[in-house]
Amino acid sequence: MSDEMMNTKEVAAYLDVHEKQVYALIRAGRIPATRATGKWIFPRKLIDEWIESKAREGLAQAQQKSRKIEGALLAAGSNDPVLDVLQTYVRKAYPDLYLFSANMGSMNGLAALDNGYTDIAWSHLFDPESGKYNIPYLSTCLPRIKPVVVNLFYRDIGFITAPDNPHRIKWFDDLAKEDLKFINRQQGSGTRVLLDYHLGQLGLSPDRITGYDREVYTHFEVGLSILSGEADVGIATAAVSKLLGLSFVPITRESFDMVLDQSTFFQKGVQAIMDVLNSREFRKGVEKLGSYDFSDSGKILYSTA
């Protein structure tokens, strides 16, 4: 066959694919070809043009994808009303920065960070042995990265109930009261870790708690379950109880931290978050939520050498 024309076998060798793949391209109408004397033939010039056009398409798609993710910062893990306010103020101060956050619990947020699915993990995992938050989990949850832990704020967490605490909830053993409906957080969340630790300390089986297996993913969902009467008690932040007009029984003050890889820490988006966290406008915006302590906000609590 002339240099200008190729048969199926020759075009397969030219493209470095199996001959069957050439026939698949023909059937899909994705390769320039014509049929003569019962055989498929391929003009070399058209094949070269087709290869060039596909290369151009691939480059254009890559550039388009790059533009889509430029300026975007992905976060995942725990949730808090302050994070919603933070996203708003970051967007106002840095219009070119997009901060996306997914509520999946502290443990799952760290797993997503270690697997490269997110840039930042929001976390408040309590370690009973050390009494510390987040740092004791780094070696087991983040083996693939060099983590940095930055404090965002401290927050009060506790039992939230209907106004005036009609069931007189004081501590975790009260969750086993008869006719009491509990609403739980999902497995892997920092709140769930805290709950299970205290139940273990009391020797209280989860089977004795009505509603232990009913899970929601945010503090607001806990509050709304109580507000609607679907549940009598749950564990959430003091801020949620205040916003929804519910009673609050304190359990502890937590360290709510931002965990990320060293290579991400110096990115523009992360530094923008740090700037907003310490800005007067943001602090004034979250004052009405109450029960937050920003004294260590932006402080690096842990960094690998």
**CA-based nearest residue to 298, from 268, 272, 263, 267:** 272
Phi and psi, residue 153, nearest 5° = -170, 165
Round to whole Å and give the CA distance between 36 and 303.
Answer: 69
pLDDT at 119: 92
| Cα 254-91-133 angle, rounded to 5 deg | 15
pLDDT at 122: 94
Give me the residue label for tokens 């870790």: 193
Q: pLDDT tens across 29-66, in order?
A: 778 888 877 788 888 888 877 776 766 565 445 444 44
- Residues with Cβ within 8 Å of 147's Cβ and at least 6 positions away in sequence, in order, are 138, 259, 260, 261, 262, 302, 303, 304
pLDDT at 65: 42
Joined tokens for residue 239: 């801020």
Round to whole Å and give the CA distance between 233 and 159.
Answer: 6
Round to whole Å and give the CA distance between 94 and 92.
Answer: 6
| Ordered domains of the chain (ranges, CATH) | 5-68 (1.10.1660), 72-303 (3.40.190.290)
Q: Which residue type, as a one-letter code, is found at position 234?
A: G
Round to whole Å and give the CA distance between 303 and 305.
Answer: 6
pLDDT at 67: 41
142-168 per-residue burial string, b: 16 or more CB within 10 A, e: under 16: beebebbbbbbbbbbbbbbbbeebebe
pLDDT at 64: 45
Q: How many residues does the chain have?
A: 305
- Strand (E) or helix (H) holding 85: helix 81-93
pLDDT at 243: 87
Ranges of the chain whose pLDDT falls below 50: 59-60, 62-68
